[in-house]
Structure 1
Amino acid sequence: MRDAYLVGAGQSAFGAFPEKSYRSLFRTAFEAAVESVPDGLEPGDVDEAFVGTLGVGGRQLGLSGPAVTEHVGLGGVPCTRVENACAASGFAVRQAVQAVKSGMADVVLAGGFEVMSDLSSDAAKYWLGVSGETEWERLSGTTFAGVYAQMASVHMEQYGTTGEQLSRVAVKNHANGAKNPHAQLGFECSLEDAQSAPVVADPLNLYHCCPTSDGAACALIVSEDVVGEYTDEPIRVAGVGAGSDSVGLFQRDSYTGVPASERAAESAYEMAEIEPEDLDFAEVHDCFAIAELLAYEDLGFCERGEAGQLIESGATEPTGKLPVNTSGGLKSKGHPIGATGAGQVVEAFKQLSGTAGPRQLENPTRGLTHNVGGSGGAAVVHVFEREGAEVDA
């Protein structure tokens, strides 16, 4: 199969934008992605598109993919809507890579969008809840905060993880998001702030939970046959992995891990022929603080039960051994469901192309993105690397 390359990526700001539509947000992201291509790309070059969205709020429930691609001038280009809850656009990126690798397309757009801020809090909870197990979780009144609170409680009881360690995730990600002009909650917070916030679902408090967001993000994936037309410094999609699992948390054998993430990571590492220690940074799915800690373990950044110590050690800070969520993550950057996975790819592109501004890491060559649907019913992992990057022996 052919190699696939990431040649451009862009996003809208994430936040609450009552004056914006899902079409206008997607246009902003698409134009930013096109403008980021080093040697230029014309919309007419795009052969196919995959667009992720949950369809929150009932707007354009059918054909929402063609609705946004037509709006940005891609009318007539085959477009598929991808829905995998919060992992929708991460899977859209995977579909784009598959289309390129198979030889069916040379230039593919992968993106996503969501508008969530125009709903009441009750309606937002409903739309978020549809990605949980319907009969025994959502209809019994369980929220996603409640589901992740169960995961946090068991992790704390089994491994001694502390509330302070959960709060350190928030402090780190807010500090990173404060350097990201696209972040919804782009401000720093103290450890005291993050520990003393109102409880949402014990043991999770307000600073342990990501916001609901409006936004869009896009990535441009091309084949090895045409990559030279768009850049002299290609970023290869070195590895892709995906996994699925029971939608309901109660249906799983363990509450202290996300097996779909673990399987996705193993597949991505195998394809990329690397180990976790070969990564220079990672964007992981931190919808709740405990989700980032679980990701450390699921992705092999540390052993089971050691995530609390890892965050406490500073290893995942921008100056640490493996910076995590330099964008601010879902916690600070925001979480417009259908745009989140593609938004992670935007950060990977910026870091690897040296365009991340004040949050730029020093000469990174390889990064990972990790996008989860629901409480772990689906997960997708991508490994991106600058062409010519070598794995240390």
Structure 2
Amino acid sequence: MTHPVYVLGGAQTDFARNWSKEGLGLVDMFAETVPAALADARVDDREVGVIHVSNLAGELFAGQSQLGGMVIAAVPGLDGLPSTRHEAACASGSTAVLAACAEIESGRYDVALVVGVELMRNVSAQTAAEYLGTAAWAGREALEVKYPWPALFADIAVEYERRYGLDHAHLGRFAEIAFGNGSRNGLAQTRDWDFPAGSFDENDEVNPIVEGMLRKTDCGRITDGAAAVVLAGPKFARAWAQRTGADLDQEATIAGFGHRTATLLLADKLAQSAEQDYLFPHLRGAVEDAYRRAGISGVADLDVAEIHDCFTINGLVTLEHIGLAAPGKGGEAVMDGSIELGGRLPVNPSGGLMSHGHPVGATGVRMVLDAARQVTGRAGDHQVDNARRALTVNIGGSFTTAVSTVVTRGTRTPA
């Protein structure tokens, strides 16, 4: 990064909530989350210079666009500020974060508010699946299937099995770890869920097939929710630290990023990588870009990771692309305890998308917030001991958009 970008604070909603059942909607999410984020960051709304909003499908789920204006309607103290909405499927939140960082690094603004929202539980599961399917190539892939995204990620599992071999036990164990982590997170959607024996096995009764080889606990949830972070450049952060008594060497910074986009059709991406080491080379490139910009050598320099596991196969693939395992060997890192709390690299201590939840437009923002809390020791019951460097990996579509960040405590480059 050209200049450090500080994560001064943030907030998220309880991802277990069903907002439409409460008679609430997108504006209420903004009205709850933004003031909470500003309060956590100890920043007044008059100090914010710019707003970035992330959301995938407000027009479909809520019949609402122009969310840049809605956040100001919800929080009148922000009236008059520039506000822009970002959409990159499930990576919408991360692209909003990167846009805010770019404006801070350029010197255009000193303080940016980034807020992601998604309302999805106000329609049936089938309708929600169809709406979310618009982030694939509508009319060209996932045709004649009930659930587009489980079907597409099942296709990824088939290709993974063809190239490397795939044991469903590895997927089941990944899910079991995720739900176990989520049970310690007071904001996770599934924190109170019970899982009968066989829930993570090839058990057709309690863990039925959804699409292809992917079963019930291989698939993420439909989630309502919002998350927000307050970002600042060094000049404001120094004044903020003097005012609040904070030690900037103990605060979180976004130290590096990677952002790459591949072609839209899954089949085209898989064909392009047929002779390459990695299933999705552009994802590997985005992660390597984040490492390089953060001044670290790779996965060995990390203490914790928040990765995109909307499906278990996605989590397995991403473990390989961040360098924790060689291509085709992600299952070994799952089974040997590497990704568990206390393991070589704790992955998704929050529960990840599988358990914490996946309100699409909020997910990338939530990841940065969780990473910032981990490296500052503020992650509560799912804190990783002595975490100083965290990785986030957020994807959109069938690995079409890939965004990665490295979040560190302070600005010193690690040795």
Name the TM tier (shorter chain): over 0.9
Matched residue type, 1:292: G
26-35 or 255-264: bigger deviation = 255-264
Separation (CA, whole Å) in 2 of partners of 1:70 and 1:260: 38
CA contact (8 A) 1:365 1:389 kept: no
Deviation at 1:2, TM superposition (A): 2.6
**1:120-164 deviations in whole A, cap 9, x for unaligned?**
223212211000012321455471101101111221232222101
The one of 350, 354, 360 equivalent to 1:327 is: 350
Deviates more, 1:141-150 or 1:123-132: 141-150
Task: Show the counterpart of 1:163.
Answer: 168
**Paired position in structure 2 for 1:66:** 69
- Corresponding residue number in structure 1 for 2:286: 264
Query: Which residue of structure 2 lines up, in the alignment, with residue 239 of structure 1?
Result: 256
- Letter of the 1:68 counterpart: V
- The one-letter code of the counterpart of 1:64 is L
Partner of 1:83: 87
TM-score (normalizing by structure 2): 0.90
Question: Residue 10 of structure 1 aligns to which amino acid in structure 2?
Answer: A
Report the equivalent of 1:17.
19
Corresponding residue of 1:304: 327
In the alignment, structure 1 residue 201 sits paired with structure 2 residue 224: no
What is the Cα deviation at residue 169 of structure 1?
1.0
Q: CA deviation at 1:259?
A: 3.1
* Amino acid paired to 2:217: Y
RMSD: 1.7
Q: Partners of 1:5 and 1:298 in 2: how far apart? A: 27
How far, CA to CA, are the matches of 2:309 and 2:194 in structure 1? 17
Q: Which amino acid aligns with 2:267?
A: F
Structure 1 counterpart SS, 2:349? coil
Superposition map of 1:210-359 within 5 A: 210-228=220-238, 229-230=240-241, 231-232=246-247, 233-252=250-269, 253=271, 254=273, 257-274=279-296, 275-359=298-382
Structure 1 pair 277–69 and aligned structure 2 pair: CA distance change class (3 A): farther
Q: Deviation at 1:188? A: 5.9
Would the alpha carbon gap of residues 129 and 388 (structure 1) be closer, same or farther in structure 2, given more than 3 Å must change? closer
1:181 matched to 2:183: no
Verify the 8 A CA contact 2:221 2:358 in the aligned structure 1: yes
Deviates more, 1:379-388 or 1:209-218: 379-388
| C-alpha spacing 1:81/1:48, structure 2 compared with 1 (3 Å) | same
2:113 aligned partner: 109
Q: 55, 61, 80: which one pairs with 2:57?
A: 55
Please say which of residues 69-78 and 176-185 is displaced more in the overlay: 69-78
Which of 391, 396, 401 is equivalent to 1:373?
396
**Are 1:128 and 2:132 matched, yes or no?**
yes
- What secondary structure, in the 3-state scheme, does the structure 2 residue paired with 1:92 have? helix
Once the two structures are superposed, what CA deviation does each residue of 1:329-354 show, in whole Å capped at 9, x if it has no partner?
00001111101111111211221221
Q: Give 1:218 shift.
A: 0.4
Per-residue deviation at 1:299?
1.5
Q: Secondary structure at the match of 1:225?
A: helix
1: CA distance between counterparts of 2:292 and 2:124?
Answer: 44
- DSSP-derived class of the 1:382 partner: strand
- Identify the match of residue 153 of structure 1 among 151, 154, 158: 158
The Cα shift of 1:321 comes to: 1.1
Instruction: Compute the displacement of 1:112 (Å).
Output: 0.5
Instruction: Encode CA deviations 1:180-219: one digit per residue, 9 max, x unaligned.
Output: 1111111464773111201101210000000111000001
Q: TM-score, normalised by structure 1?
A: 0.95
CA–CA distance in structure 2, aligned partners of residues 67 and 17 of structure 1: 17
Deviation readout 1:15-34 (Å, 9 max, x if unpaired): 32221311212232223322
Q: Aligned to 1:161, what secondary structure does the other structure show?
A: coil
Cα distance in 1, alignment partners of residues 396 and 151 from structure 2:
16
For structure 1, the 5+ residue unaligned runs are none
User: Secondary structure at 2:135's aligned position in 1?
Assistant: coil
| Aligned length in residues | 390
User: What is the distance in 2 between the residues matched to 1:188 and 1:99?
Assistant: 45
In 2: Cα distance, 1:157 partner to 1:138 partner: 20
User: Is the CA contact 1:148–1:375 (under 8 Å) kept in the aligned structure 2?
Assistant: yes
- Residue 45 of structure 1: CA displacement? 0.7
CA distance in structure 2 between the aligned counterparts of 1:140 and 1:182, rounded to whole angstroms: 36
- Cα distance 1:122–1:192, how it changes in 2: closer, same or farther (>3 A)? closer
